Amino acid sequence: MNILRSGYIRKFASLVVLTTIALTTGCGKQSSGLVLRMAHTLDTSHPVHAAMEHMAAHLTKASAGQMELKIYPGSQLGSERETIELLQLGAIDLVKTSTSPLEGFIPGMGVFGIPYVFRSEEHFWNVLNGDIGKRLMQLGMDKKLRGLCYYDAGSRSFYTKEKPIQSPADLKGLKIRVQNSQTSIRMIEAMGGSATPIAFGELYTALDQGVVDGAENNPPSLLTSRHYEVCKYYSLDEHTMVPDIVLIGTETWDRLTEEQRGWLQDAADSSVTFQRNLWKQKTQETMDKLKEGGVEIIRPDKKPFQDAVKELHDSFKGTEAGKWMKAVLEQY
């Protein structure tokens, strides 16, 4: 009975997505080439969305119109976890997601959620562009998830409504929104806060209505989500560097010819260069706009935060994420 129920749920989910795609596509111009469907949860003003548009344009040009990328932004097709599941079902072809919710599918991805694993931005990108980053991207093959590229998502820091976070002690008694990630939940708890997983698309209302007292994210996401309208304190403790990743379903990848795979990978690689340059530019612009919007920027001493998560680091010994953490710390 459970197997039958699961099958019905999968068919229903696929039908809902296909109906949504049909409705959003409308009666516009129909492509004569192969159209790949890509979903993400960010606003269209976000620099990561611009990178996906760059990827789409590059793919169309490289393939002389034989391949196109249709992007469904703003959680049109569901939350990050839901779009990952749809990717596994073959209902869509590509997904841009944070690596945080991926740890529920690929435990090794939890390494990115462990606070203060990366010493610097240079260290972070050495890992991602090296052997460890490449191996991590392919860990989900048995789950029908294949990585194409990483996008810069900066570092994540706390933003709150009522008071600034100067030290972990300030988190005590506060409900902090986190992504659907056990590592993120454990991090907040280690620092003394109460972790509350909420879908990103529902977070503005949750902040406004006091369901949570704050959240943590990078500067562009704080701006484009308009969370700064509610949260006026941004404490740059920079606890994690969690990249975004572009995934393709293995069913879609297996259907592509070698030439089509080359076009798609080249488009993804081109979008990475575009995105990293744009990210740096937009991050600085964002900080200026946040200040103009009345947000107080706090730069706390990071050592108390690092000390607060030492036991958390030790607790990962023997786990899949801990194995990758050890490799990162030893090899770079």
Tens of pLDDT along 134-143?
999 999 999 9
Q: Same CATH fold, 156-241+287-331 and 2-20+30-152+243-285?
A: yes
In whole numbers, what is the pLDDT of the chain averaged over residues?
91
Is residue 22 over pLDDT 80? no
% the chain with pLDDT above 70: 90
Between the CA of residue 95 and those of 71, 86, 88, 254, 315, what are the distances in Å? 9, 9, 10, 16, 31
Least confident of 5-19, 142-156, 239-253, 284-298: 5-19
* Helix ranges restricted to H, 27-155: 47-62, 80-89, 121-129, 131-137
Name the pLDDT band for 32 (thresholds 50, 70, 90). Answer: low
What is the DSSP code (8-state) at residue 180? S
Confidence of residue 17 (pLDDT cuts 50, 70, 90): low
Contact (Cβ atoms closer than 8 angstroms) between residue 104 and residue 139: no
**Strand-pair category, 244-249 with 145-151:** antiparallel
pLDDT digits (tens, 9 = 90+) for 262-304: 999 999 999 999 999 999 998 989 999 999 999 999 999 999 9
Separation of alpha carbons 289 and 276, rounded Å: 20
pLDDT category, 31, cuts 50, 70, 90?
low
**What is 156-241+287-331's CATH number?**
3.40.190.170
Structural domain spans, the chain: 2-20+30-152+243-285, 156-241+287-331
* Helix pair 2-25, 80-89: axis angle to 10 deg: 100
* Bridge partners for 177 per DSSP: 196
Separation of alpha carbons 267 and 94, rounded Å? 13
Give the domain 2-20+30-152+243-285 fold.
Answer: D-Maltodextrin-Binding Protein; domain 2 (3.40.190)
101 half-sphere exposure, CB direction, 13 A CA radius = 23
Please list the residues that pair with 68 across neighbouring strands: 35
For residues 214 and 176, is the Cβ–Cβ distance under 8 A? yes
Give kind and range of the element (H or E) at residue 216: strand 214-217
Between CA 151 and CA 241 the distance in angstroms is 11
Cα 36 off chain centre by? 20
End-to-end Cα distance, the chain: 50
